[in-house]
Structure 1
Amino acid sequence: MHTLVRGLIAGAAGTSALNAVTYLDMAIRARPASSTPQQAVDKMADLVDVDLGEGEQADSRREALGSLLGYGTGAGAALCFGLAAERWRPSWPVGVLALTALAMVGSNAPLTLLGTTDPRSWSATDWISDVVPHLAYGVTAYAAHRLLSTSVTPSRRRRSRPW
């Protein structure tokens, strides 16, 4: 299986885990969804001079594009990891931490640069709410990548003997 396909599948699996843990946290704590992705979409739309529409139409586009940014981040982090893992075979904890860090930096750095968040001002609860879902991403993406990498190794064929 090609590295690109393996990375996309691992990224999709990791992103699904991240979303599940996030939604579980929202259900348990009865907290609303973050508006940061939608704010980032607004800022990016302004930067490239794209009109999102008006009212409910614009709100729907912000929500959809904000979610798609998350999927793009998950795919990108796993693709970067997959390219590095072709030459470097990290152990389970190192691979999980690498994927977790890639996903956290991939999501938080652009949001920070856009001015929609400032991790320096986050409370301990805010950090836990960010780290735990990204750790779920790292564990799941690593497991998926590892399973896909080992399941596609060509088996050695036995050569038939001429006798």
Structure 2
Amino acid sequence: MQSVTKGLLAGAAGTLALNLVSHGDMPLRGRPSSNVPAEVADRLADRAGVPLGDGEEKSNREQALGAMLGYVIGLGIGCAYGLLRQRAGRPSIWTAAPLLGAAAMAGSDLPATVLKVTDPASWPLTSWASDAASHLPYGLTTASVYEALP
């Protein structure tokens, strides 16, 4: 259980780092927030038969659920890392960080792709770089915090 708890805490710290980098990029480049998480939430709710309402109420719920999905992904990957560390050994932070970042990136991009919210094959290189640049701090923070916890 200790490895799961450590993974949860590390994943929470990693998610905070990802959000700080992603939201910090918005004023630097003057870009809006992504509507992809909200659209994923909308499509998942639709498939599950869960009505989200109409108009502004629906939009607010989509945005909130999209953000919550991000937390679930970040915490879930942290938990999975804790469980894998318990069984598979102890990779260096420099090995674990890019793998954790890639897992977080896949955790958000794959559902969006499967639900046809986005098509990563059509992304320009700058979009790939931006996505990777916000997920790598997740991996580095998650791996570092996991190691730092007793």
TM-score by length of 1: 0.88
1:94 matched to which residue of 2?
95
2:63 matched to which residue of 1?
63
* Amino acid of the structure 1 residue aligned with 2:142: A
1:114 matched to which residue of 2?
115
User: How many angstroms apart in 2 are the aligned matches of 1:24 and 1:97?
Assistant: 20
* Amino acid of the structure 2 residue aligned with 1:8: L
Alignment of 1:131-150 (within 5 A): 131-148=132-149
Q: Which 4+ residue blocks in structure 1 deviate beyond 6 angstroms? A: none
Q: Deviations over 1:41-88 (max 9, x none)?
A: 111111011110111111111110000000000011111111111131
Q: How many equivalent pairs are there? A: 149
Identity of aligned residues (%): 45
User: How many angstroms apart in 1 are the aligned matches of 2:124 and 2:53?
Assistant: 35
The structure with more radius of gyration: 1
2:4·2:80 contact (CA, 8 Å) conserved in 1?
no
Question: Can you give the 5+ residue segments of structure 1 that lack an aligned partner in the other structure?
Answer: 152-163
* Amino acid of the structure 1 residue aligned with 2:66: G
User: How many angstroms apart in 1 are the aligned matches of 2:61 and 2:3?
Assistant: 32
Question: Can you give the 5+ residue segments of structure 2 that lack an aligned partner in the other structure?
Answer: none
Larger helix percent: 2
User: How many angstroms apart in 1 are the aligned matches of 2:51 and 2:116?
Assistant: 20
User: How many angstroms apart in 2 are the aligned matches of 1:124 and 1:144?
Assistant: 30
2:106 matched to which residue of 1?
105
Alignment of 1:1-163 (within 5 A): 2-87=2-87, 88-148=89-149, 151=150
Q: Quote the RMSD (CA, aligned, Å).
A: 1.0
TM-score by length of 2: 0.95
User: How many angstroms apart in 2 are the aligned matches of 1:17 and 1:143?
Assistant: 12
User: How many angstroms apart in 2 are the aligned matches of 1:85 and 1:4?
Assistant: 10
Q: Deviations over 1:120-143 (max 9, x none)?
A: 111111011100110010011111
